[in-house]
Amino acid sequence: MISLPPAAIEALLDLACEIQQISSPTFAEASRAEFTRRRMESMGLFDVQADLAGNVLGRLPGKTSARMLVISAHMDTVFPAEFPLTLDRQPDRISGPGIGDNALGLAGLLSLAPLLRENGVTLPGDLWLAATVCEEGLGNLRGIGAVAERFGPRPLAYISLEGMGLGNILHRGLGVERFRVCVHTSGGHSWVDFGSPSAVHELAGLATKLAALRLPRRPRTTLNIGLISGGTSINTIASSAMLELDLRSESKKSLAELAEKVHLAVEQARKPGVEVLIERVGWRPAGEIAPNHPLVALLVKVLCGVGLQPHLDIGSTEANLPLSLGYPSVTIGLTTGDRAHSAQEFIHTAPLEKGLQQTIQLLQQVWDALS
């Protein structure tokens, strides 16, 4: 087990806090990407570059280039550019929007090469570090998709780092389908044209039907209307309204069946004077590796070795993309925390040492486990 002095942990947390203060909404990660590029260059990584998708990559040479490993962390957050990036740092806990998802994950990625070098560790093969874009929201995993397209099946595995979720081994990718539904009518005056169809009323009726759809509990399947808007003023019959819908399921079949029900409900909502359109705006492909896959088995062993109880689980993360292509992939966390995607997001600092030991031991042993 390599040495992780308190100063190294503090330096990593300093870096996470610095990253958290750089606004990085999905589709607008350029400032954080430039910070990451400069950091990779200062670390002495080889082949540091930004690709056409906006990802930043660097290579830590190993003993051979014959078999490589890709480890990634996404740079984007769910928070818009103008969102206040408050930060409250206490000895045992750090709070702030995006600190765990994924400022800490990115800081961990950027700390791996220095930690390995300081401990005299040379990995058996090349390690490619990828700081990726478009993991959140409607980014549709564009960043990791470009990485997977570049490297294909050549890496031993694709490992994704998240700031939170320590102890979880996400070896299954949760399928996601996202739709935007728009309703259009002629609209009019709330008094003079009363009786004319309102886009808001029609959309509200459709939303009620969608929310009432029966969903299977096993396999777990969910439906969420996350955004709804429309209308012009309180005394105007709305001529347009829109909602955005998120569907998820552990089962490809159940997800497809739910999407079919949504399309049927949209079709039934159409009538003279009421135009209803549906557009697929987002998706995350499903995929998995078996619980007894050597990569999963290695992570179970490593987590037990650092005194943690492993939990095999499913999630919607960067790992979805390589998993859907049949490539070995998992997502792991560096520490514990809660309230992700909220202004109250926080991480615990004490478990970070075990999270780093987990990650470094995985890197040291994965070549033997998967070769």
Q: Would you give the DSSP letter of residue 196?
A: B
User: What pLDDT digit, counting tens, does each position of 317-340 carry?
Assistant: 999 999 999 999 999 999 999 999
**Can you tell me the distance from the alpha carbon of 243 to that of 207, in angstroms, rounded to the nearest whole number?**
8
CATH number given to 175-284: 3.30.70.360
First to last CA, the chain: 22
User: What pLDDT digit, counting tens, does each position of 160-204 carry?
Assistant: 999 999 999 999 999 999 999 999 999 999 999 999 999 999 999
Q: What is the mean pLDDT of residues 254-275?
A: 97
Asked if the model's pLDDT at residue 1 lies above 80, the reply is no
Nearest to 176 by CA among 228, 250, 102: 250
- Unique residue bearing structure tokens 């040495």: 3
Asked if the model's pLDDT at residue 2 lies above 90, the reply is no
The per-residue b/e assignment along 310-329, b for 16 or more CB within 10 angstroms, e otherwise, is: beeebbbbbbbbbbbbebbb
CB 201 within 8 A of CB 303: no
User: What pLDDT digit, counting tens, does each position of 296-315 carry?
Assistant: 999 999 999 999 999 999 99
At residue 65, the pLDDT reads 79
Domain boundaries, the chain: 6-174+286-370, 175-284
Q: Which amino acid is at 321?
A: L
- Grade residue 3 by pLDDT with cuts at 50, 70 and 90: confident
At residue 246, the pLDDT reads 96
| DSSP notation for 33-90 | HHHHHHHHHHTT-EEEEE-TTS-EEEEE--SEEEEEEEEEEE--BSS-TTS----EE-
Is the domain 6-174+286-370 a CATH 3.40.630.10 member? yes
User: What pLDDT digit, counting tens, does each position of 203-237 carry?
Assistant: 999 999 999 999 999 999 999 999 999 999 999 99
- This prediction has a pTM of 0.92
At residue 64, the pLDDT reads 85
Residue 25, beta-bridge partner list: 77
**Token digits of residue 32:** 């954080």
Average pLDDT, the chain: 96
At residue 78, the pLDDT reads 96
Asked if the model's pLDDT at residue 44 lies above 80, the reply is yes
Q: Which of 8-12, 97-101, 116-120, 351-355 has the lowest mean pLDDT?
A: 116-120
**Token digits of residue 305:** 């070795």
